[in-house]
Amino acid sequence: MNIELQICGLVMLMIFLVLIERDRKLNVKNRLLFIAAFGVCIICLIFDIASIVCIHMAVYEGFSPMITRGVCKFYIMLLVIQGYCGFLYACLDIAVQFKVRWIRTLAFILFLIGEILIIVLPIDYYMDGRIVYSYGPAALCTYALAVFFIVFTLFLSLKYRKDIPHRRLIALFTWQGLWLMAAIIQFISKETLLVGFAAALGMVVLYSQLENPNEHIDRTTGLFTQNALSLYLQDKYNYKKPFAFYTARIKYLVPTAGLEIKKNAVTRSARAFLKLGKEPVFRIGDDMFCVVYDTPEKAYEKLMDIKAQADGVTDIPVEAKFIYFPDSRMLSGTDEVFDFIHSYEDSNESILTCDTALVEKMRHRSGIYNLIENALRDDRVEVYYQPIYNVKERRFTSAEALVRIKNEDGTKVSPGEFIPVAEENGQIIPLGIRVFKKVCEFLATGELQKLGIENIETNVSVAQFDHENPAGFVKDHIETYNIDPECINLEITETADNELKYLLLLNMERLIRMGVTFSLDDFGTGRSNLDYFVSMPARNIKFDLSFTQGYFTNDKVRHMMKGMVNIAHDLNMKIVSEGVESKEQYEAMERLGIDYVQGYYFSKPIPGSELIEFLKEWQE
277-312, pLDDT tens digit by residue? 888 899 998 889 999 999 999 999 999 999 999 888
Residue 616: per-residue pLDDT: 92
Residue 37: per-residue pLDDT: 85
Q: Is the pLDDT of residue 547 over 90?
A: no
**Alpha helices (runs of H) in 445-529, residue ranges in sequence order:** 447-450, 472-480, 498-514
Tell which wins on pLDDT, 402 or 166: 402
What residue type is 36 in one-letter code? A
Q: Give the separation between CA 214 and CA 230, rounded to whole angstroms.
A: 15
The DSSP letter of residue 278 is S
Tell which wins on pLDDT, 173 or 480: 480
**Mean pLDDT value across residues 385-392:** 96
Residue 473: per-residue pLDDT: 82
Strand segments, DSSP code E, in 48-154 are 124-128, 131-135
Q: Is the pLDDT of residue 256 over 80?
A: no
Q: Give the separation between CA 271 and CA 480, rounded to whole angstroms.
A: 59
Which domains are seen in the chain, by residue range?
A: 4-214 (1.20.1070), 217-354 (3.30.70.270), 380-619 (3.20.20.450)
What residue type is 252 in one-letter code? Y
Q: Give the separation between CA 461 and CA 494, rounded to whole angstroms.
A: 7
pLDDT averaged over the chain? 85
What residue type is 470 in one-letter code? P
Tell which wins on pLDDT, 465 or 608: 608
Residue 301: per-residue pLDDT: 94
What residue type is 124 in one-letter code? D
Q: What proportions of the chain, in percent to the nearest 5, are helix, strand and coil?
A: 60, 15, 25
Residue 134: per-residue pLDDT: 85
Residue 606: per-residue pLDDT: 96
Residue 529: per-residue pLDDT: 55
**Mean pLDDT value across residues 66-71:** 93
Residue 98: per-residue pLDDT: 44
Confidence of residue 496 (pLDDT cuts 50, 70, 90): low
Q: Is the pLDDT of residue 420 over 90?
A: no
**Mean pLDDT value across residues 128-139:** 85
Q: Is the pLDDT of residue 179 over 60?
A: yes
Q: Which conformational region is residue 129 in: left (phi greater than 0), alpha (psi within -120 to 50 degrees), or beta?
A: left
Distances (CA, A) of 534 to 163, 288, 564: 57, 40, 12
Q: Is the pLDDT of residue 314 over 50?
A: yes
Q: Give the separation between CA 317 and CA 313, rounded to whole angstroms.
A: 7
Confidence of residue 571 (pLDDT cuts 50, 70, 90): confident
**Mean pLDDT value across residues 520-524:** 75
205-244, pLDDT tens digit by residue? 877 776 666 667 887 888 889 988 998 898 888 778 899 9
**Mean pLDDT value across residues 602-615:** 95
**Among residues 64, 65, 44, 68, which one has the least CA distance to residue 54?**
68
Lowest mean pLDDT across 16-25, 63-72, 171-180, 503-512: 16-25
195 burial (CB, 10 Å; 0-12 / 13-18 / 19+) is buried
- Range with top average pLDDT, 143-147, 472-476, 614-618: 614-618
Confidence of residue 123 (pLDDT cuts 50, 70, 90): very high
The tally of CA atoms less than 13 A away on the side-chain side of residue 430 is: 13
Under a CB-based contact definition with an 8 Å cutoff, are residues 380 and 406 in contact?
Answer: yes
DSSP run (H or E) holding 249: strand 244-252
453-476, pLDDT tens digit by residue? 999 999 887 767 655 565 678 888
**Mean pLDDT value across residues 484-508:** 78
Q: Give the separation between CA 388 and CA 395, rounded to whole angstroms.
A: 9
335-349, pLDDT tens digit by residue? 999 999 988 988 889
**Mean pLDDT value across residues 435-453:** 94
Q: Is the pLDDT of residue 379 over 50?
A: yes
For helices 259-274 and 296-311, the axis angle rounded to 10 degrees is 140
Tell which wins on pLDDT, 620 or 166: 166
Distances (CA, A) of 446 to 264, 395, 453, 575, 618: 64, 18, 10, 26, 18
Q: Give the separation between CA 471 and CA 208, rounded to whole angstroms.
A: 47
346-359, pLDDT tens digit by residue? 888 999 999 999 99
Residue 543: count of CB within 10 angstroms of its CB: 30
SS3 of 554, please? Answer: coil
DSSP run (H or E) holding 145: helix 137-159
Q: Is the pLDDT of residue 376 over 70?
A: yes
73-112, pLDDT tens digit by residue? 999 999 888 888 878 877 776 654 445 567 778 888 999 9
**Among residues 466, 459, 457, 461, which one has the least CA distance to residue 506?**
466
The percentage of the chain sitting over the pLDDT mark of 90, rounded to a whole number, equals 39
Residue 231: count of CB within 10 angstroms of its CB: 16
- The set of residues, in sequence order, having a beta carbon less than 8 Å from that of 15 and lying 6+ positions away, is none
